[in-house]
Structure 1
């Protein structure tokens, strides 16, 4: 008996987070500089975002640049920052017109003022959209996020806005960069690496993971659909025992 497409959508992940890995290796395998792979990877983001509504994905979070990525060569870092600026300028109208709401998470302190201005503008331009919520993690690290959240929480305690006995595991998420987002149901990492690289450490405590060999510039909407289908076959017990 054929499966009901609506049932498949409902059993799929509502929030998918992706560690977009393998851009540099993809370029090097073709004899091109690493930035060539990053540009190819940026184009792939559009295809994945466009596929989300048809797969029942309401929230998509992508890991674009980590707090550790500053250790890369100055040429690559500068090229990535230029790519982010160009991507925002190029895609703002398309994202706004197609119902995509964009948010950025991460520490903006080290980012240049022009990029921050563009990020703020894109968030403002798309703030009323609700078809897909695209969150871009830029200068983001899970440990850094928790540390920054803890500082804000400690400040509220010190200033009397929060009592120490009121602090529990429901409190800290309200101080995280992702406080308005649901936790990810499915986290995907491309390129064959099997680690989470400091991504959404708190939020992904009960996420399902898929580590795949595909390099990010080769990742397709069809592969995303397959992974969402796999997700629908898993029993998510959250520590309990199902009868």
Structure 2
């Protein structure tokens, strides 16, 4: 697992050129961090940061479509985020409806397919309805997969995979000798996707926060001090250019 921690300062706004003939990550996963701090710096309620963060999602999705990336997984709400104040959680749960009400047609027009990972059933009904509508309306699209991690926790996901394996052994559908990496991977929420090539975390925090722990075993990590609402197309391109300048060895030479 490659980890680099040289933060890129937001004041360096000179745009470099992505080498589209070089390898781009097929699957980019992003921990969208810093909405609350963005709002606090401006004397605004935390909700204002979350609302501004939605605008960033639109920018990054548009750029991912332009670059023909395969999958963009966004950490929208973790299993731990329920610990936040109820008023903030309630607001966040309304955001999918607001986001998709204004953006769904553009997603359809850009051939984007919306999907989710996480315990979908535990979300409020109105949140489930908004997200399911977007999933249904974009199901026939075959371009970028926009994958929202909602009520997602990687440890819970792995525990669920282990339970599924135990169940299959008890039902004599497999034996313990059949347990391997593939057996676990095919029981995760992400079984239909390639593993992330690049993991981005914004806001200056240097941790994974229970996100895709199994899947990022050989992902490249990119940390930036830029807060999520300020993470625009230029900042996204910086992360992709940095990725292109790395050599992935997967344990080899």
- Once the two structures are TM-superposed, the CA of residue 37 in structure 1 deviates from its matched residue by 0.2
The answer (yes or no) to whether the contact 1:63–1:138 under 8 Å persists in 2 is: yes
Superposed CA offset, 1:208-234 (max 9, x none) = 001100000000111111111111111
**Matches of 1:65 and 1:4 in 2, distance apart?**
30
The answer (yes or no) to whether the contact 1:106–1:140 under 8 Å persists in 2 is: yes
2:80 to 68, 90, 114: 68
The answer (yes or no) to whether the contact 1:20–1:64 under 8 Å persists in 2 is: yes
The farther-off stretch of 144-153 and 172-181 is: 144-153
Superposed CA offset, 1:43-91 (max 9, x none) = 1101100001333422100000000000000110011001122223332
**Matches of 1:201 and 1:5 in 2, distance apart?**
29
Structure 2's unaligned 5+ residue stretches are 1-16
- For 1:119, the equivalent position in structure 2 comes to 131
TM norm structure 2: 0.90
Map residues 27-176 of structure 1 onto 2, 5 A cutoff.
27-176=39-188
Superposed CA offset, 1:145-193 (max 9, x none) = 1112222222222222222211101111101001001000000000000
The answer (yes or no) to whether the contact 1:100–1:131 under 8 Å persists in 2 is: yes
- The alignment partner of 1:7 has SS state of coil
**Matches of 2:90 and 2:20 in 1, distance apart?**
45
**Matches of 1:125 and 1:172 in 2, distance apart?**
30
- For 1:7, the equivalent position in structure 2 comes to 21
2:245 to 224, 233, 239: 233
Structure 1's unaligned 5+ residue stretches are none
- Once the two structures are TM-superposed, the CA of residue 120 in structure 1 deviates from its matched residue by 2.0
Query: Aligned pair count?
Result: 237
Q: Which has the higher contact order (CA 8 A, sep 6+)?
A: 2
- For 1:177, the equivalent position in structure 2 comes to 189
TM norm structure 1: 0.93
